[in-house]
Structure 1
């Protein structure tokens, strides 16, 4: 059983909040943040927080300062990175290897800062490869520049980038497709799979990848 606690972390851009789901005898931490249009209540983040402590991985669900302050719109990427850097010592204090993670905009933050912060790996959920309908505005460089083992979990019909749109990935970077999933990993009723099956695919992919990524 994991233990759940919450802590507030001051940053230069406002207070961030971490909701911990701690694994007994944890050997690693997954610090994972939300996207620009939602919070830590996202279905994939909730599922990972429920599943991973059973595999010895504590999960830190990170709410960026703009969400804690009740704002509706995310700030510029530079501001997101500032908040993430400032809260990093709070997730690092246990002295365990840290996987930097995020969904959508949070995945971009994790990729941009992974090497600098000493992350052991990156988990990119619904990486926004490009704005919807604008494949020419690619953000692939952020993903390819993470510099650490990376897992991309991408919905098969994500308008921000379907799996087949991704460039050839370097060694150490893996991509798992969530069939029929949209940007939030919702699947249509016509898909023949339900939400529990979809979430089990995601948590299974992540728990299977973590031992490889952490060596």
Structure 2
């Protein structure tokens, strides 16, 4: 499913629950893609609780750029994609998230996109070996419920618990969160299911688009 944005087309891989109870939109990091193990695990776990899940390939990746570029342009493109997806699935409680750079985008745009929750996977608190360049303010500006899942061996650091609704630090995991991605998915689905905005979704089959 392709969407026009102010900064080029974006692509969304959407998998629908048979009787959807929520919409979750996810995106990739600056170097990886939407097939990252943690993103796939979150997709699978949220589909199992009745969520329709869209994984978005951002415009910079479709252009073949090696770096995301301007945060302002990323955010504008993201908000445009989310607005179109929400039109296609009206009335569903809406959450968004991503891994690494995608987690930053999800936090920065949560208010503008109308997200009721954010899932931040491997949130890069600071560049490696540069703790003085903290990005904690991006977590704080989300203005809604935020789940952070990081590994305790992440060279990009681990956020403080006070800057998220819930912080999960997984022992032995690095920035890729690929040692036990199923646990990442389980944590995300359990947290979403427990939020008042999302009720208690039921399980169901899925349809792929």
Length-normalised TM-score, structure 2: 0.89
Map Cα deviations across residues 90-144 of structure 1 (whole Å, 9 max, x no partner): 2212111111101111111111111122111000001010000000100001102
Q: TM-score w.r.t. structure 1 length?
A: 0.86
Q: How does 1:6-85 map to 2 (within 5 A)?
A: 7-85=1-79
Per the alignment, in what secondary structure is the counterpart of residue 175 of structure 2? coil
Q: Tell me, yes or no, if the aligned pair for 1:23 and 1:53 is still in contact at 8 Å.
A: yes
The alignment covers a number of residue pairs equal to 195
Distance in 2 (CA, whole Å) between partners of 1:211 and 1:185 is 22
Superposition pairs for residues 111-150 of structure 1, below 5 Å?
111-150=107-146
Q: Quote the residue 2:173 is aligned against.
A: 181
Distance, in Å, in 2 between the alignment partners of 1:50 and 1:159 is: 27
Deviation per CA, 1:131-168: give whole Å up to 9, x if none: 00000100001102211011000011001113xxx334
Aligned with 2:153 (options 140, 153, 157)? 157
Taking only aligned residues, the RMSD between alpha carbons, in angstroms, comes to 1.4
C-alpha contact (below 8 Å) 1:48/1:59 kept by paired residues: no
- Choose between structure 1 and 2 for higher RCO, CA contacts under 8 A separated by at least 6 residues: 2
Cα separation, 1, equivalents of 2:15 and 2:130: 37
**Is residue 42–residue 186 contact of structure 2 (8 Å, CA) maintained in 1?**
no
